């Protein structure tokens, strides 16, 4: 089978697994495990819970510092989007391949599998590791669980790590994190004809939103990494609000969910402390009226800052177009994997501008260029 046929067939097969984050990953993990075993690689399926697992594949001498390649197997939902074709059946039009995950980021996974067909993995002199994760799209959950396990067990991966998110093959060494917070507002229910007997949680939420806007403005003034980031500050987004139960009841509960994109060196715990301090006056007043305002951290995907001049950046510069490494505005599994001491560089085929949208696609030429770069990179670092 020619590599182009293998590449398209592999990507079509990966797209056919509808791995939206709330669905199982066992079938796609089993498929990739079989493909790796067919190449003579060492396969480890690491369960995280019911129907969820990370997959770690290795070849070459154990413990030698070659290369780690990593990508996530989950995709975002398609419900409510106006697709021109079935998002889980790959189609080809005008030199592009369409389907959910073609760009973000099953295209990269298919490119890695195809690149390995051109390499005799039994001849590797340094270790190559593939790390395929679950639930990246809902907070890098799979990589967080994998890293916690590896830290507990004292396990290692090759330090130079490529995270194949779509960057149009341009190396990126930095990204903000993304942490999810909940603000829970408790009021007192009452008949809506007697509002003075109750305390509206939705009115508390209105005031909480004003306080969060003040914090957002403070954070916008605390700028860093202006040479790399388009938004060189902690970005805040209140993304969800829910509350109340009926129009004739003073609402007793309201929930806000917000995201904050921390900069490198800034922790979610620090942001939670500032959020709680911002809401403290409102919380104190609500408490005097029998209510409460509480903020909590739900999930953290850490920021990433790879040291400038790391060997992998030099390799990519030598193999690519020589562009200076920059940053991406979105979080990746690299923030978690860096906790294992890995130097993570973000680089992969496709454009993030097409990710998460209806008719997500990747150029066929881009995909083949990705296979070529990966083949040369593996040979350079591991042979």
pLDDT tens-place string over residues 217-262: 999 999 999 998 989 999 999 999 999 999 999 999 999 999 999 9
> 353: helix, coil or strand?
helix
Q: Are 251 and 176 in contact (CB under 8 A)?
A: no
Which residue reads 């070529």 in tokens?
A: 372
- Cα–Cα nearest to 252, from 297, 181, 204: 204
Q: pLDDT tier at 2 (50, 70, 90 boundaries)?
A: very low
Calpha distance 49→300 (Å, rounded): 19
Report all structural domains of the chain as residue ranges with CATH numbers, in order of start.
3-175+302-382 (3.40.630.10), 178-300 (3.30.70.360)
Averaged pLDDT for residues 122-145: 97
> 378: helix, coil or strand?
helix
Distance of CA 91 to the CA centre of its chain: 25
pLDDT in tens, 355-365: 999 999 999 99
Give pTM, 2 decimals: 0.92
93, containing H or E segment = strand 91-93
- Cα–Cα nearest to 267, from 307, 216, 309, 301: 301
Cβ-Cβ contacts under 8 Å for 364 (sequence gap 6 or more): 92, 95, 96, 97
Question: Among all residues, which ones are annotated catalytic?
Answer: 74, 136
Which residue reads 């009115």 in tokens?
A: 203
Q: pLDDT tier at 3 (50, 70, 90 boundaries)?
A: low
Question: How far is CA 367 from each of CA 42, 110, 259, 318, 376, rounded to the nearest angstrom?
Answer: 26, 9, 32, 20, 15
Calpha distance 213→113 (Å, rounded): 46
């Amino acid at each position: 089978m020619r590599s182009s046929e293998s590449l398209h067939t592999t990507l079509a097969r990966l797209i056919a697994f509808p791995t939206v984050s709330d669905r199982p990953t066992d079938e796609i993990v089993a498929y990739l495990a079989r493909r790796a075993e067919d190449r003579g690689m060492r396969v480890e399926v690491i369960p995280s819970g019911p129907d969820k697992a990370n997959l770690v594949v290795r070849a070459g001498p154990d413990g030698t510092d070659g290369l780690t390649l990593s990508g996530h197997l989950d995709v975002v939902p398609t419900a409510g989007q106006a697709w021109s074709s079935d998002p889980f059946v790959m189609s080809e039009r005008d030199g592009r391949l369409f389907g959910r995950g073609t760009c973000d980021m099953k295209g990269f996974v298919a490119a890695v599998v195809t690149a390995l067909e051109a390499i005799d993995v039994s001849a590797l002199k340094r270790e190559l590791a593939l790390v395929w994760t679950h639930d990246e799209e809902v907070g890098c959950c799979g990589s967080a669980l994998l890293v916690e396990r590896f830290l507990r067990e004292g396990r290692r991966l090759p330090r130079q790590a490529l995270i194949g998110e779509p960057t149009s093959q341009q190396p990126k060494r930095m990204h903000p994190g993304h942490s999810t917070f909940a603000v829970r507002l408790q009021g007192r229910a009452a008949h809506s004809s007697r509002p003075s007997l109750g305390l509206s949680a939705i009115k508390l939420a209105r005031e909480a939103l004003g306080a969060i806007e003040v914090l957002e403005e403070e954070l916008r003034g605390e700028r860093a990494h202006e040479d790399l980031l388009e938004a060189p500050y902690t970005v805040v987004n209140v993304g969800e609000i829910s509350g109340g139960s009926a129009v004739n009841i003073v609402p007793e509960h309201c929930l806000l969910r917000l995201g904050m994109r921390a900069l490198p060196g800034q922790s979610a715990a620090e942001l939670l402390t500032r959020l709680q301090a911002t809401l403290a006056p409102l919380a104190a007043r609500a408490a005097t009226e029998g209510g409460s305002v509480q903020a909590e951290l739900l999930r953290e995907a850490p920021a990433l800052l790879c040291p400038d001049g790391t060997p992998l950046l030099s390799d990519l510069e030598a193999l690519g177009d020589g562009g200076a490494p920059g940053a991406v505005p979105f979080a990746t599994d690299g923030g978690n994997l860096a906790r294992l001491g890995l130097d993570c560089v973000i680089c992969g085929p496709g454009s993030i501008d097409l990710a998460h949208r209806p008719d997500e696609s990747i150029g066929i030429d881009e995909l083949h260029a990705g296979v070529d770069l990966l083949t040369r990179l593996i040979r350079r670092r591991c042979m």
